[in-house]
Chains A and B, each alone.
Chain A
Amino acid sequence: MEKRICTIERNSPVAPGCLRMSLTAEESLLHRCGQFVEVAVPGQYLRRPVSVSLSEEGRLTLLYKVVGKGTAALAALKPGDKLDLLTGLGNGFDSGACRGKALLAGGGIGVAPLLQLCRDLRAAGREVSAILGFNTAAEILLREELEALGARVTVATMDGSAGIRGLVTDALQEAGGDYDQAYVCGPMPMMRDLYPLLPDASEFSLEERMGCGTGLCFGCTVQTTEGPRRICHDGPVFKKTQLPW
């Protein structure tokens, strides 16, 4: 964990209710993809956990959805404003665990950390396919970015306005599977539906209302096969075999 004050370069909508914020950062502020940051939001007491979609030299890119007062205050920030953040939180995905073909499965704003993961997997020479689920075509995130990295992307929408009509699980069954390792991030019902369909080595990035994001408050606990674990500190990424679903 490190505390940083970063300058906002951009903070603009990429889909209805979803924004991409880029921040200046001298070096990469994450140790692994799938780690997150806690941002101090003007007017709110607690920080807010936010997914990092890219962490590179010179820039940190966050992707978030406005769901309440905290994220609304974050959306109101302008380029040039300073943001106080705790970086490098949580364990992140183990991209090195993938020895063959990788499947990325994401739903809604949960697709955010899959971009850096895809970049890391591609840099290691892995073949990547991605299945992304959204409510409707207007809400699609990161499709072009993942395709630009060389991933084979399948989109599913609930209303059928783009790609396959239905859920990520429907798309997975339709697209078929040729992969050795899956990485999942999205709403809990999506992850639970995917759980029985994926190999044991698969990794799931969980979400829960957090207090601190640094392991201090025990606010975001989940039951695992190894006992209660703090999502912010011991996760957010858990292996399929750790989840008693």
Chain B
Amino acid sequence: MVKDISVTLAGICLKNPVIPASGTFGLGYEMAEVFALDRLGAIALKGTTLEPRFGNPTPRIAECTGGMLNAVGLQNPGIDALVGDVAPKLRSLCSTPLIANISGFSVDEFGICCEKADACAAIDIVEVNVSCPNVHKGGMAFGTDPAAAAEVTRRARKATRKPLFIKLSPNVTDITAIARACEDEGADGLTLINTLLGMRIDIRRRKPVLANRTGGFSGPAVFPVAIRCVNQVAKACRIPIIGCGGVSSAEDLIEMMMAGATAVQVGSANLRDPLACPAIIDALPAVMEQLGIEKLQDIIGIV
């Protein structure tokens, strides 16, 4: 039972399509002693801004049925630490492709960060996050308006020749309009979806559970939303998609690829079980056998 689980993403060959999603895999090397990072198809690094950020006050995490809310607020050591320390250290530990995830509060900040990521030999793909729901001014504001998403993409495209992915928000009325705007400005691919904007209230304290009041909703409960978004965008655009949202099993990964994803990011599942990614990779050949799939690449967007 030899199955081909490799995929080609924007010209880069991944040994498998499993990628831990940005913000759910630490700085990237925390799990290096637990499993070989080279088992992963690629690694999406922590969302990074121009300046270091502490992020939001705590509590930043809330539980909900079928998933969780987070309002971390882009805590990160800043782009200079990413390209100077984090990415080179990770590169010394593994050879799997590294995806820098860039956030910003202005178009110029996105541009400068992408230039720095472009100059970093350890980084293979640049993913621009216009969809963080947990920061005020900026973040998701760039991903909910086609003109603003286009402007960020144009600036990022000027800044890098590396494969450029734009990470989109589901918190919009028509995700295909945003997706097409990014494609038209030269994006090599799209990552979707980021978290859904949510909120929980502690009914005993009569206060929001999260110090930030609202947070990003993720986990298995959002999987159908992600499948719908990926499928809509796959029909509307020609560039490759990294599917993301609630993926927890090899079956979920195959469903996401059938919807139109070339590769798949695993997010909240890592927080519940840090071995989720290797477990999905291990389970793939047997699930493919059951479903009569020889090559994963063959099922991309067949639905």
Which A residues are within 8 Å of any B CB, using their own CB? 1, 3, 40, 44-47, 69-70, 86, 208-212, 214-223, 227-228, 233
Contacts and interface: CB of A to CB of B under 8 A. Distances in A.
Most buried by A among B33, B61, B65, B66: B61
A222 B66 CA distance: 28
B272 A210 contact: no
25 contacts: A40-B272, A45-B63, A45-B65, A45-B66, A45-B67, A45-B272, A46-B68, A46-B272, A210-B61, A211-B70, A212-B24, A212-B270, A212-B272, A212-B274, A217-B70, A217-B72, A218-B46, A218-B55, A219-B70, A220-B61, A221-B55, A222-B58, A228-B54, A228-B75, A233-B26
Of all A-B residue pairs in the complex, the 5 with the closest CB atoms, nearest first, are: A212-B271, A209-B59, A219-B61, A211-B61, A215-B30
Given A1-B34, A47-B272, A209-B58, A219 B72 contact: yes
Contacts of A227: 52
Interface of B: 23-26, 30-31, 33-34, 46, 52, 54-55, 58-68, 70, 72, 75, 219-220, 268, 270-275
Contact of B275 (A3, A209, A211): A3
Contacts of A211: 60-61, 68, 70, 271
Contacts of B23: 217-218
Contacts of B65: 45
A45 B274 contact: no
A2 to B, nearest CB: 8
B216 to A, nearest CB: 11
A218 B270 CA distance: 13
A217 B272 contact: no
A86 B34 CA distance: 12
A218 B75 contact: yes
B59 A216 contact: no
Given A214-B274, A219-B61, A45 B26 contact: no
A216 B30 contact: yes
Given A216-B274, A219-B58, A220-B58, 8 more contacts: A46-B271, A86-B274, A209-B59, A211-B271, A212-B274, A215-B30, A216-B24, A221-B72
Given A45-B272, A218-B23, A223 B54 contact: yes
B59 A218 contact: no
A38 to B, nearest CB: 9
Contacts of B272: 40, 45-47, 212
B24 A217 contact: yes
B63 A46 contact: yes
Given A3-B275, A212-B270, A212-B271, A46 B54 contact: no
A2 B275 CA distance: 10
Nearest to B211: A209
Contacts of A44: 63
Contacts of A215: 26, 30
A111 B70 CA distance: 29
Contact of A221 (B34, B52, B75, B271): B75
A145 B120 CA distance: 56
